[in-house]
Structure 1
Amino acid sequence: MKLVIEPDAARWYKQELGLVEGDQLRVFVRLGGCGSVQPGLSLGIMKDESRSPGLREVAEGLVFFMEEDQLWYLDGKELHLIYDALEQEAVLEVRG
């Protein structure tokens, strides 16, 4: 498993959420949405402090992480945070 953050996506979050260097963003499993890996579940992202990160990556001065107890959602795949220029927003994608 791997967490990959595109710099453009990190900059988008920095701007949209008014974040500063050192802020942390947690990727978490939530009920509902249109996730493609686990039926009836999807991923969300929020500003938070890490407790027991299973995946962690720094991009544009921001710390992105997913807690160890949530990694089951990825089912061994990679999580990519990309910037969709057409929609002008960051998107979470599970690949592999």
Structure 2
Amino acid sequence: MNIEVTKPAVKWFKEEFNESEHKHIRFFARYGGCGSFQSGFSLGISQEEPENPLAKIEVDNFIFFVEEKDAWYFGQHDLKVKYSRTHDEIEFESQEVTR
């Protein structure tokens, strides 16, 4: 599994979370909401240290990651994190793994 975070999304995270410090941002499966990976579940965002990351990427002093315990949610998909100017919020896209 890979994680991609677009430049506009990184900018959003810098504005929402103090960019002067090194930040860990976890994407995790949560019950409810509307998600693009598993029906009845959606992705949450939390600021916490990684324990057993399945995937991670470092961009501009942020480490974005998904824990192994959430692998079931993603199946055979990568995660793309984008910023929506229309909704002024983060959006998630699933991308089928083609490796």
TM score, norm. by length of structure 2 = 0.87
Q: What is the match of residue 53 of structure 2?
A: 53
Q: What is the match of residue 89 of structure 2?
A: 89
Q: What residue ranges of structure 1 are gaps of 5+ in the alignment?
A: none
Percent identity of paired positions between Structure 1 and Structure 2 = 33
**Matched-pair contact (CA < 8 Å) for 1:20–1:62:** no
Deviation at 1:71, TM superposition (A): 1.2
Q: What is the match of residue 42 of structure 1?
A: 42
Within 1, Cα distance between the matches of 2:20 and 2:30? Answer: 26
Q: What is the match of residue 9 of structure 1?
A: 9
In the comparison of the two structures, how many residue pairs are matched?
96
Coordinate RMSD, CA, aligned: 1.3
TM score, norm. by length of structure 1 = 0.90
Instruction: String of CA shifts for 1:20-61, please: whole Å, max 9, x gaps.
Output: 342100000000000122121111111111001011011122
Runs of 4+ in 1 over 4 A off after TM superposition: none
Q: What is the match of residue 30 of structure 2?
A: 30
Q: What residue ranges of structure 2 are gaps of 5+ in the alignment?
A: none
